[in-house]
A and B are shown apart, each in its own frame.
Chain A
Amino acid sequence: MRWLYLHFPSLLLDHYAMTAPELPLAVSAGTPPAILQANAIARNAGVQPGQALATARALRAQLHLIPDNPKREHVYLREVAASIYPLAAPVFPWKPDGLLVDARALKRLHGSPWQLERHLLEHIRQRALQVQSAIGETPRMARILARWAPDCSQQPGQCADQILARLPVTATDWPESVKERLQRMGLKTLGQLFNYCPSELTRRLGPEVTRELQYLRGERREALDEFLPPPFFKQHLELLQETAHAEALRFPLQRLLQELESFLRQRQHATDCLLIRLKKTSGETTRLDVRLSKAEHRAEAFMPLVALHLEQLQLDDEVKAISLRVTRLLPLAAPATDLFGTPQQTHEEVAALLSRLRARLGEKQVHQVQCRADHRPERAWQRLDTPASTSMPASFPLRPLWLLHHPQPVSTAAQRWLAGPERIQGGWWDGDYVRRDYYIAELPQGRRAWLYRNAEGQWFVHGWFG
């Protein structure tokens, strides 16, 4: 069996560099803190792994330091796994910074393991990630080669076993104490270790080392956890430079939306609901609920709506991270292209228009109305977003086109009585009892009103005949 291992030496750095490619960056870790990794710009200034922070800062004044965060790194690793999943499944993430791909399972799709490697590297480099890769007979062998001799496997002719045999024992994942004892035993390279008597090794170092060697040589099968892509989209973007300008969030959001587009496209899904969370330096989070009237999958359709939300946004604090979450995935409808297809297009245009209006004015500010089965006039209608009630009569008694939300007391005398009375009585079942006599009358200035007299004999205007 052939395995391809992808090693990502600087996941955290690459992630931050996405939003700020031109800044010197370094990851710091340990007590006292020291430089763990540095990007090319910082390295050119002389920043080296292992340096104290003060030294690094002296070498490059604007150096941005990122604290090491294994949890975040794992999240980014899973993001990378999700992005290559459509090209190469199954994928096995290897904490904290590697991905293992079963090349034999992908033989029919990609051809030889080296072709697979080329396809995957191409895809990963498009995402501006640093990567080292190697192909090996066993998962552990591929891992060691990728980490310590990534360039050797570029040539198919070279024997991976020979390269492995030449690597030092320190290339393994064993504890430091074991490595030290091996060196004291005079075993410097893996090749020497392979030739050593296994029972002697077990006696001196315990069964773990022998077991590891068996894994490495394929005498024992590795238990691997397969990566399962999440059923929804969630991505998180840390901003290197905190910003309080909503306008400055456009670029990182555009990036997230493009990731979303490729996620949706690969799965042939669309969505009508995005949730954007802006995490601020104060620890608070601002939520932006972006809703679309029609499910979409293109970044260019999401962006104008997101921009409208950003315009409305009042940022009182600096934003340090953005996350985008989409849980509502709908099957992607193929665009209807019928020969005389104007109606379809018309509905799409109206749907896009509704999305824009709702994004700017608010979700509740644009709505439709429909009838509702109730005798009381103020309850005989409802917004369309509520589920439709039972069948409606085809016609109603004479009603005004304008209904007042709150009936107003009548202040002037009616000039002409046109119709009435019509008694409307009901509502004893839900505590909102109504007993009214409705009339239609002409009030001064020629206004035709729908009036009622309640049980107490008071008069109110309830509607106008517009």
Chain B
Amino acid sequence: MSIQSISQLLADHRIWSASQKKQTGVAALSSGYESLDHCLNGGGWPLGTLIECQSEHTGIGELQVFLPAMRNLCNRQDKAIFWVDPPHLPYPPAMINAGLVPQQFYRVQSHEREERLWALEQLLRCPAVGLVMGWSDTLDNTAARRLQLAAEAGKTLGVIMTRYSTPSAPPPLRLSLAPENGQLQVRIRRQRGGQGAVTALSFPLQVPL
């Protein structure tokens, strides 16, 4: 094997250098957490890109990750937020405590997988929708591709919360959440034109009883 010069290596298009963070033209919405924005290529949640957020359990603060973005969308931009098949009832008093407007939230319940996909596609395709969050146990190959295309068409922010991830075909941005020592670890498993990263967010209970 001959030794190649560094310039030859760099000329190989298969090699991607971490220093050249690709400036994607995609607009982004700040996540509201400085450490997280820093890790996300584009400086926030990318619009028009499907985000898969994997967390095995509910109740670990998984909604907190998206709360600042939701506040921004429903208070400042007056946009509607859709939750498709959430695991439990979104509780309005807690939403008001978190600074959200419950009237901006729509809860959509589907009966089966095909209907859920259809509803998510319709929602992602509509540019007037602020945020689409869907809950599903897994996200398979074809579903991820369909939803990604819909998100690209609508330039919306789309998040799919999954319990178990399918590593074979992850969407362009994939996170996993896990609690650790009272903090929430956010792992960026994969993102377009950027690196994986780990960041920890902590969400203290705001009001002591």
Is A360 a contact partner of B102 (Cβ separation < 8 A)? Answer: no
Among residues of A, the one whose C-beta sits closest to the C-beta of B87 is A402
Residues of chain B lying within 8 A (CB to CB) of residue A394:
96
Interface string of B109-138 (1 = CB under 8 A from A): 111000100110011001111000000000
Given contacts A350-B126, A368-B107, A369-B105, contact A401 B205 (CB under 8 A): no
Is A346 a contact partner of B79 (Cβ separation < 8 A)? Answer: yes
| Distance of A272 Cα from B63 Cα, bound (Å) | 35
Is A465 a contact partner of B128 (Cβ separation < 8 A)? Answer: no
A-facing residues in B190-209 (Cβ within 8 Å): 205-209
Residues of chain A lying within 8 A (CB to CB) of residue B109:
361, 365-366
| Distance of A411 Cα from B140 Cα, bound (Å) | 32
> A397 interface residue, CB < 8 Å from B?
yes
With most chain B CB atoms within 10 A of its CB, the pick from A353, A367, A394 is A353
B-facing residues in A260-295 (Cβ within 8 Å): none
Residues of chain B lying within 8 A (CB to CB) of residue A400:
59, 91, 94
> B72 interface residue, CB < 8 Å from A?
no
Residues of chain A lying within 8 A (CB to CB) of residue B95:
401
> B46 interface residue, CB < 8 Å from A?
no
With most chain A CB atoms within 10 A of its CB, the pick from B57, B58, B62, B93 is B93
Is A422 a contact partner of B122 (Cβ separation < 8 A)? Answer: no
| Distance of A353 Cα from B106 Cα, bound (Å) | 12
User: By the criterion of a CB under 8 Å from any partner CB, how many residues of chain A are at the interface?
Assistant: 53
Is A403 a contact partner of B118 (Cβ separation < 8 A)? Answer: no
Partner of A369, one of B57, B89, B126: B89
Among residues of A, the one whose C-beta sits closest to the C-beta of B209 is A419
Partner of B128, one of A353, A366, A442: A353
Question: Can you identify 23 A-B contacts, CB atoms within 8 angstroms?
Answer: A345-B128, A346-B128, A353-B128, A354-B106, A356-B122, A365-B108, A367-B107, A380-B93, A381-B93, A395-B96, A396-B93, A398-B205, A399-B94, A401-B91, A402-B88, A402-B89, A404-B89, A418-B205, A419-B205, A419-B209, A447-B57, A447-B58, A447-B179
B residues sitting closer than 8 Å to A (CB atoms) are: 56-64, 78-80, 86-98, 102-103, 105-111, 115, 118-119, 122-123, 126-129, 178-180, 182, 205-209
